[in-house]
Structure 1
Amino acid sequence: MHLVHRIIAATLLLIGWAADANACSSAKRGPFLKEIAQTSKSCAHPLCGQIYATARPEAEDPKTPCPDDQWQRLEAAVTAALSAGGVLILGEMHDNATHHLLQAAAIREFALSEPSNETAIVFEQLRDDQQPGIDKFTAKQHSGEKVTVADFKLAVAWQKSNWPDLYDPLFETVIAAKRPFYAGDVSRAEIMKAAKDGAGVLPADASKRLALDIPLGAKFDAASIKEIEDAHCGALPKEAFDGMAFAQRYRDAHLADAVLKASQQHGSAILIAGTGHARTDRAVPWYIRKRTPEKKVVSVMFVEIETDNTDPETYVPRDPDGLPAADFIVFTQPAERGDPCEKMRKK
């Protein structure tokens, strides 16, 4: 991006929703903006709590009332997608509690605002083999029996998973609203088999149905492998990369399949997943668009700020050609964590 464009983009961002004097910023603040304000109180970074649209305003719906207002651009895009039977993807850092609070607020904002809205929620954190437990839990709830998040966790054996309890706000929101929700991921056994055996693990008809028979392309394959190598801190043997890259593709394709089924059954869907699955260039949105090009998909990523970096453009994930790989970014404070590479090398 040219320097002038970058300055303009940053200026538009910082005009933002906080300027009460701006007519565009006087719009009603619902659950999402309220949660952003609440979770950003202790963060002094200038980007913290800001929303950033990666596309130029003129590339979006010309009917957007305030194209310079980042929140209204996000709201318009998401509302248009869900009302047309589309998909909203909320990409997270799994161990960041703020991200889950914001995801829960986004569900209240976009899925619960209309009583007639049946938007389904799909979770990466729940696997196929846990769906029977989900179904039993929801049947119990719909029968009028009082249920809690603890009951849900027991039903799906959550304690045996590797996921933290930071997802409680999300489960509480979905359960309280009695909204349909589904497992999005494949079983651990399937993931391990895919990582070991590669593309040969799937029959040709299943591969075609999931759009796994369509190649990503050499540049995107290389980017995927580089991401896997970096995520594992260089501690994996290179011969494991191809299998792990296919396993990642399989998970993305399967998540897309779960989202498509949920949106077809209930009218629209929201996916809760890691930021890697939210990438528009080679992850879940890619598979949805290959299978249903007409379906609207909006990818919102929650991204942690860096202390000395105040340029929003440098945070935007990009494909190998430099194009944005997310539609919107919401900046948050980082989670407190140790060095993940130290733990990885010990393993």
Structure 2
Amino acid sequence: MRGFTILICACVAMWAGPLGAVEISRGLLADMAAADVVLLGEVHDNPDHHAVQAAAVAALRPSAMVWEMLSPQTAARLRAGWLDDPQHRAQGLEWAQAGWPGFDMYLPIMRAADGVPVYGGLVSREVAQAVMEQGLAVVFGSDAAEYGLMIPLSKERQAEREADQARAHCDALPPDMLPLMVDVQRLRDAVLARAAVRAAGRHGGPVVVITGNGHARTDRGVPEVLRRVRPGLRVFALGQSEDGAIEGSFDAVVDSPAADRPDPCAVFDRPAAGAD
């Protein structure tokens, strides 16, 4: 396994998992354990990031898990011992249909939390399309106001997020699509936050949220929504960088080498404009 760098503390605890030994600082684990909600960020196709997540989940023993990759329906199918059936895993979780990278990278995380209540925070392609047709608040539901979805972003923040979406999509999106893409991201943040609130309310903490770095960052994303709806919750956000590069603010960052991947902008037949 490739090496990890923990950017917090030189004092480390060793955790052995299916993917090898991963070092996580004792101080970092203590900070996460003290939180009600722990967001474990990732770059989706980086196996090292998932190894860190698996080690953290094994150490934290969370009260519940929230997955960006699972819908409420697929999350309900994930029961103790169910992971041992490859056919159920492939069909029941609808992993490939949702477009996520290889399930084997995520399996050690699920095994580390086997038997723990699971909540789905997936916004499907169909739901994202509905946002574009019906609007953000209508799609989210009756608690849209509570979750801040009826309040437009400031001009500065809207422009910043539209620029992020343009860069993430290799500057290939038409300009009139960018506000809609920002709305979809806001919906994803709110859906994950609502699932975390429900999980913490029913099971206490720590609730662990498995999600991309963009939703875990503290300057926006799920932590910002949680500060609005449950200001008393203690939230800890871990970001995971590649070769030292990451966008946004986090309570802590773990670095690992960049995953080997083709140019994500090749499908648009243009050079990459920046990281997602």
Root-mean-square deviation (CA), in Å? 2.8
1:317 is matched with 247
Query: Residue 304 of structure 1 contacts residue 333 of structure 1 at CA under 8 Å; is this kept in 2?
Result: yes
Q: Please tell me the residue identity of whatever aligns with 1:172.
A: R
1:135 is matched with 76
Q: Please tell me the residue identity of whatever aligns with 1:288.
A: L
Query: Residue 88 of structure 1 contacts residue 299 of structure 1 at CA under 8 Å; is this kept in 2?
Result: yes
Q: Does 1:98 align with 2:48?
A: yes
1:275-294 residue pairs with structure 2 within 5 A? Answer: 275-294=213-232
Query: Residue 195 of structure 1 contacts residue 245 of structure 1 at CA under 8 Å; is this kept in 2?
Result: no
Residue correspondences, number: 261
Query: Residue 134 of structure 1 contacts residue 152 of structure 1 at CA under 8 Å; is this kept in 2?
Result: no
CA 1:304–1:206 in 2, change beyond 3 Å: closer, same or farther?
same
Distance of 1:195 and 1:288 partners within structure 2: 24
Match of 1:236 among 173, 198, 213: 173
Bigger Cα displacement from structure 2, 215-224 vs 296-305 = 215-224
1:171-250 residue pairs with structure 2 within 5 A? Answer: 171-175=110-114, 178-199=115-136, 201-202=138-139, 205-250=142-187
1:340 is matched with 264
Match of 1:304 among 242, 247, 268: 242
TM-score, normalised to structure 1, is 0.68
- Show CA shifts across 1:73-117 (max 9, x none): 423321221xxxx10000100000111111011000112xxxxxx
Match of 2:34 among 68, 77, 80: 80
Q: Does 1:327 align with 2:240?
A: no
CA 1:172–1:186 in 2, change beyond 3 Å: closer, same or farther?
same
- Higher alpha-carbon Rg: 1
Query: Residue 243 of structure 2 contacts residue 256 of structure 2 at CA under 8 Å; is this kept in 1?
Result: yes
Query: Residue 198 of structure 1 contacts residue 242 of structure 1 at CA under 8 Å; is this kept in 2?
Result: no
Gaps of 5+ in 1: 1-11, 18-24, 40-48, 52-70, 112-117, 307-314, 319-324
2:15 is matched with 31
2:63 is matched with 119
Distance of 1:182 and 1:332 partners within structure 2: 28
1:109 is matched with 59
Partner-residue secondary structure (3-state), 1:193: helix
1:270 is matched with 208
CA 1:204–1:92 in 2, change beyond 3 Å: closer, same or farther?
closer
Partner-residue secondary structure (3-state), 1:298: strand
Distance of 2:106 and 2:96 partners within structure 1: 12
Partner-residue secondary structure (3-state), 1:95: coil
Gaps of 5+ in 2: 1-5, 271-276
- Show CA shifts across 1:268-324 (max 9, x none): 210000000011111000001100111111110111005xxxxxxxx4634xxxxxx
What's the % identity of the aligned pairs? 31
TM-score, normalised to structure 2, is 0.84
- Cα distance, 1:197 vs structure 2: 4.2
- Cα distance, 1:36 vs structure 2: 10
- Show CA shifts across 1:101-152 (max 9, x none): 11011000112xxxxxx51111101123xx2x432442xx4xxx77515233
- Cα distance, 1:37 vs structure 2: 8.6
